Amino acid sequence: TPPATASSSPPPPTARFIVTVTQVKPDMLDEWMDLQKNEVVPALKKAGIPSRTVSRTVFGNTYEYLSISPLESYGVLDGPGLFTRALGPEAGARLAAKLRKCITAQRTYISTRQNELSIPPDSNPAPAVAVTFRRRIAPGKGQEYRNYIKSELLPVYKKAKAEGKIAGYTVSTRGLGGTVGDMTTTTFYSKFADLDPGTVLTRMLGEEAAQKVTAKATGLSTVVETVARRRVADLSY
Protein backbone atom coordinates (compact mmCIF):
# COMPACT_ATOMS: atom_id res chain seq x y z
CA THR A 1 0.00 0.00 0.00
CA PRO A 2 1.53 3.36 -0.99
CA PRO A 3 1.98 5.96 1.74
CA ALA A 4 -0.79 8.50 2.15
CA THR A 5 -0.23 11.84 0.48
CA ALA A 6 -1.78 15.21 1.19
CA SER A 7 -4.25 14.74 -1.64
CA SER A 8 -5.34 11.28 -0.50
CA SER A 9 -5.61 12.08 3.20
CA PRO A 10 -9.13 12.35 4.61
CA PRO A 11 -10.39 15.89 5.24
CA PRO A 12 -10.28 17.22 8.80
CA PRO A 13 -13.44 16.47 10.79
CA THR A 14 -14.38 20.13 11.08
CA ALA A 15 -13.75 23.50 9.43
CA ARG A 16 -14.11 26.71 11.45
CA PHE A 17 -15.51 30.02 10.20
CA ILE A 18 -16.14 33.47 11.61
CA VAL A 19 -19.63 34.73 10.76
CA THR A 20 -20.85 38.32 11.02
CA VAL A 21 -24.52 39.25 10.65
CA THR A 22 -25.13 42.94 9.96
CA GLN A 23 -28.41 44.86 9.93
CA VAL A 24 -28.00 47.84 7.60
CA LYS A 25 -30.03 51.07 7.83
CA PRO A 26 -32.28 51.17 4.74
CA ASP A 27 -31.40 54.78 3.94
CA MET A 28 -27.67 54.03 4.27
CA LEU A 29 -27.61 50.86 2.17
CA ASP A 30 -25.96 52.41 -0.89
CA GLU A 31 -23.24 54.03 1.23
CA TRP A 32 -22.62 50.79 3.14
CA MET A 33 -22.36 48.82 -0.11
CA ASP A 34 -19.88 51.32 -1.55
CA LEU A 35 -17.77 51.17 1.61
CA GLN A 36 -17.76 47.39 1.54
CA LYS A 37 -16.79 47.17 -2.12
CA ASN A 38 -14.23 49.95 -2.30
CA GLU A 39 -12.70 50.00 1.19
CA VAL A 40 -13.56 46.95 3.29
CA VAL A 41 -12.76 44.25 0.71
CA PRO A 42 -9.33 45.73 -0.16
CA ALA A 43 -8.55 46.13 3.56
CA LEU A 44 -9.48 42.52 4.34
CA LYS A 45 -7.33 41.24 1.49
CA LYS A 46 -4.42 43.39 2.70
CA ALA A 47 -4.90 42.06 6.24
CA GLY A 48 -4.51 38.50 4.94
CA ILE A 49 -8.11 37.26 5.09
CA PRO A 50 -8.03 34.51 2.42
CA SER A 51 -11.67 34.58 1.36
CA ARG A 52 -15.03 36.08 2.18
CA THR A 53 -18.58 35.28 1.16
CA VAL A 54 -21.27 37.93 1.68
CA SER A 55 -24.96 37.10 1.26
CA ARG A 56 -28.08 39.25 1.41
CA THR A 57 -31.12 37.90 3.22
CA VAL A 58 -34.01 37.49 0.78
CA PHE A 59 -36.43 35.64 3.07
CA GLY A 60 -35.80 36.67 6.68
CA ASN A 61 -34.74 40.02 8.15
CA THR A 62 -34.80 42.62 5.39
CA TYR A 63 -31.56 44.60 4.90
CA GLU A 64 -29.59 41.88 6.69
CA TYR A 65 -26.21 40.77 5.33
CA LEU A 66 -24.15 37.77 6.37
CA SER A 67 -20.37 37.59 5.96
CA ILE A 68 -18.36 34.36 6.30
CA SER A 69 -14.59 33.93 6.34
CA PRO A 70 -12.44 30.96 7.39
CA LEU A 71 -10.82 31.13 10.84
CA GLU A 72 -7.71 28.97 10.82
CA SER A 73 -6.68 29.95 14.35
CA TYR A 74 -8.03 32.10 17.16
CA GLY A 75 -4.53 33.53 17.33
CA VAL A 76 -5.20 35.68 14.25
CA LEU A 77 -7.56 37.70 16.46
CA ASP A 78 -4.71 38.74 18.76
CA GLY A 79 -3.10 42.12 18.22
CA PRO A 80 -4.57 45.02 16.24
CA GLY A 81 -7.94 44.76 14.52
CA LEU A 82 -8.13 43.96 10.82
CA PHE A 83 -8.63 47.55 9.67
CA THR A 84 -5.79 48.81 11.86
CA ARG A 85 -3.56 46.03 10.62
CA ALA A 86 -4.30 46.81 6.99
CA LEU A 87 -4.62 50.61 7.03
CA GLY A 88 -2.94 51.84 10.19
CA PRO A 89 -4.61 53.21 13.37
CA GLU A 90 -6.02 56.46 11.99
CA ALA A 91 -7.31 55.24 8.64
CA GLY A 92 -8.63 52.05 10.25
CA ALA A 93 -10.56 54.07 12.84
CA ARG A 94 -12.05 56.31 10.13
CA LEU A 95 -13.29 53.34 8.14
CA ALA A 96 -14.80 51.73 11.23
CA ALA A 97 -16.59 55.00 12.08
CA LYS A 98 -18.04 55.30 8.57
CA LEU A 99 -19.35 51.74 8.76
CA ARG A 100 -20.94 52.25 12.18
CA LYS A 101 -23.07 55.09 10.78
CA CYS A 102 -24.61 52.69 8.29
CA ILE A 103 -25.80 49.90 10.60
CA THR A 104 -28.29 49.34 13.39
CA ALA A 105 -26.86 46.10 14.78
CA GLN A 106 -24.11 43.57 14.20
CA ARG A 107 -23.33 40.18 15.66
CA THR A 108 -20.32 37.90 15.21
CA TYR A 109 -20.09 34.21 16.09
CA ILE A 110 -18.09 31.09 15.33
CA SER A 111 -19.53 28.40 13.06
CA THR A 112 -17.90 24.98 12.78
CA ARG A 113 -18.75 22.89 9.74
CA GLN A 114 -19.07 19.17 10.41
CA ASN A 115 -17.31 17.76 7.36
CA GLU A 116 -18.42 14.17 7.82
CA LEU A 117 -22.06 15.34 7.61
CA SER A 118 -21.52 17.80 4.76
CA ILE A 119 -21.21 17.91 0.98
CA PRO A 120 -19.61 21.32 0.41
CA PRO A 121 -20.21 23.00 -2.95
CA ASP A 122 -17.59 22.38 -5.61
CA SER A 123 -17.73 25.89 -7.04
CA ASN A 124 -15.65 28.86 -6.05
CA PRO A 125 -17.17 31.37 -5.54
CA ALA A 126 -20.00 29.81 -3.57
CA PRO A 127 -23.35 29.11 -5.27
CA ALA A 128 -25.76 32.00 -5.61
CA VAL A 129 -28.49 30.79 -3.22
CA ALA A 130 -28.34 29.30 0.29
CA VAL A 131 -31.32 28.08 2.31
CA THR A 132 -30.53 27.60 5.99
CA PHE A 133 -32.45 25.92 8.79
CA ARG A 134 -31.23 26.62 12.32
CA ARG A 135 -32.23 23.91 14.76
CA ARG A 136 -32.09 23.62 18.53
CA ILE A 137 -31.14 20.07 19.42
CA ALA A 138 -33.13 18.39 22.19
CA PRO A 139 -31.15 17.79 25.41
CA GLY A 140 -29.15 14.59 25.21
CA LYS A 141 -30.09 14.01 21.56
CA GLY A 142 -27.02 15.48 19.85
CA GLN A 143 -25.42 12.23 18.78
CA GLU A 144 -28.74 10.70 17.81
CA TYR A 145 -29.49 13.69 15.57
CA ARG A 146 -26.06 13.44 13.95
CA ASN A 147 -26.65 9.76 13.30
CA TYR A 148 -30.00 10.64 11.73
CA ILE A 149 -28.36 13.11 9.34
CA LYS A 150 -25.61 10.67 8.44
CA SER A 151 -27.82 7.66 7.79
CA GLU A 152 -31.11 9.17 6.58
CA LEU A 153 -30.37 12.55 4.98
CA LEU A 154 -26.81 12.54 3.71
CA PRO A 155 -27.25 9.71 1.15
CA VAL A 156 -30.28 11.50 -0.31
CA TYR A 157 -28.50 14.85 -0.51
CA LYS A 158 -25.40 13.26 -2.07
CA LYS A 159 -27.56 11.78 -4.80
CA ALA A 160 -29.36 15.11 -5.29
CA LYS A 161 -26.02 16.86 -5.72
CA ALA A 162 -24.76 14.21 -8.13
CA GLU A 163 -27.90 14.73 -10.23
CA GLY A 164 -27.49 18.51 -10.21
CA LYS A 165 -30.61 19.22 -8.18
CA ILE A 166 -28.61 21.00 -5.48
CA ALA A 167 -25.13 22.54 -5.42
CA GLY A 168 -24.18 21.40 -1.92
CA TYR A 169 -25.28 20.67 1.63
CA THR A 170 -23.49 21.57 4.87
CA VAL A 171 -24.08 20.99 8.56
CA SER A 172 -22.55 23.37 11.11
CA THR A 173 -22.68 23.99 14.84
CA ARG A 174 -22.56 27.41 16.50
CA GLY A 175 -19.95 28.30 19.07
CA LEU A 176 -18.66 31.50 20.66
CA GLY A 177 -21.00 34.42 20.09
CA GLY A 178 -23.97 32.24 19.17
CA THR A 179 -26.36 29.90 20.94
CA VAL A 180 -23.87 27.14 21.67
CA GLY A 181 -25.05 23.80 20.35
CA ASP A 182 -27.51 25.15 17.78
CA MET A 183 -27.02 23.33 14.50
CA THR A 184 -27.57 24.76 11.02
CA THR A 185 -28.17 22.84 7.83
CA THR A 186 -27.65 24.77 4.62
CA THR A 187 -28.65 23.65 1.15
CA PHE A 188 -27.00 25.46 -1.75
CA TYR A 189 -28.63 26.09 -5.11
CA SER A 190 -27.46 27.69 -8.35
CA LYS A 191 -30.64 29.80 -8.57
CA PHE A 192 -33.93 30.36 -6.73
CA ALA A 193 -35.86 28.56 -9.48
CA ASP A 194 -34.28 25.32 -8.24
CA LEU A 195 -36.54 25.55 -5.19
CA ASP A 196 -39.74 25.34 -7.26
CA PRO A 197 -39.99 21.52 -7.43
CA GLY A 198 -40.22 21.25 -3.62
CA THR A 199 -38.02 19.93 -0.83
CA VAL A 200 -35.03 17.75 -1.59
CA LEU A 201 -36.52 14.77 0.24
CA THR A 202 -39.81 14.99 -1.64
CA ARG A 203 -38.10 15.37 -5.01
CA MET A 204 -35.76 12.45 -4.42
CA LEU A 205 -37.98 10.03 -2.48
CA GLY A 206 -41.57 10.98 -3.18
CA GLU A 207 -44.08 12.42 -0.72
CA GLU A 208 -44.81 9.28 1.31
CA ALA A 209 -41.19 8.18 1.75
CA ALA A 210 -40.12 11.75 2.54
CA GLN A 211 -42.68 11.96 5.34
CA LYS A 212 -41.37 8.70 6.82
CA VAL A 213 -37.81 10.02 6.84
CA THR A 214 -38.92 13.30 8.41
CA ALA A 215 -40.90 11.45 11.07
CA LYS A 216 -37.74 9.69 12.25
CA ALA A 217 -36.43 13.05 13.48
CA THR A 218 -39.41 13.67 15.76
CA GLY A 219 -38.22 14.79 19.17
CA LEU A 220 -34.61 15.29 18.11
CA SER A 221 -34.65 18.99 17.23
CA THR A 222 -36.80 22.09 16.88
CA VAL A 223 -36.51 24.56 14.00
CA VAL A 224 -35.64 28.01 15.37
CA GLU A 225 -35.19 29.93 12.13
CA THR A 226 -35.34 29.49 8.36
CA VAL A 227 -33.53 31.93 6.07
CA ALA A 228 -32.87 32.16 2.33
CA ARG A 229 -29.95 34.27 1.12
CA ARG A 230 -28.41 35.36 -2.17
CA ARG A 231 -24.64 35.75 -2.54
CA VAL A 232 -23.46 39.31 -3.28
CA ALA A 233 -20.70 38.87 -5.84
CA ASP A 234 -19.29 42.40 -5.56
CA LEU A 235 -18.61 41.98 -1.83
CA SER A 236 -17.26 38.43 -1.99
CA TYR A 237 -13.89 37.06 -3.06
Q: Residue 199 phi/psi, 5° resolution?
A: -65, 160
pLDDT of residue 14: 87
The 10s digit of each residue's pLDDT in 8-56 is 556 678 899 999 999 999 999 999 999 999 999 999 999 999 999 999 9
Q: How far is CA 40 from CA 19, 45, 91, 103, in A?
A: 16, 9, 12, 15
The 10s digit of each residue's pLDDT in 125-158 is 889 999 999 999 999 999 999 999 999 999 999 9
Residue 66 in this model has a pLDDT that exceeds 70? yes
- For all residues of the chain together, what is the average pLDDT? 93
At residue 179, the 3 state secondary structure works out as: coil
> What band does 2 get if pLDDT is binned at 50, 70 and 90?
very low
Neighbouring-strand partners of residue 109: 19
Residue 119 in this model has a pLDDT that exceeds 80? yes
Please tell me whether the overall predicted TM-score, pTM, comes out greater than 0.85 for this model. Answer: yes
Please check whether residue 131 is in contact with residue 171, taking contact to mean a CB–CB distance below 8 angstroms.
no
pLDDT of residue 11: 60
The 10s digit of each residue's pLDDT in 155-191 is 999 999 999 999 999 999 999 999 887 999 999 999 9
The 10s digit of each residue's pLDDT in 37-48 is 999 999 999 999
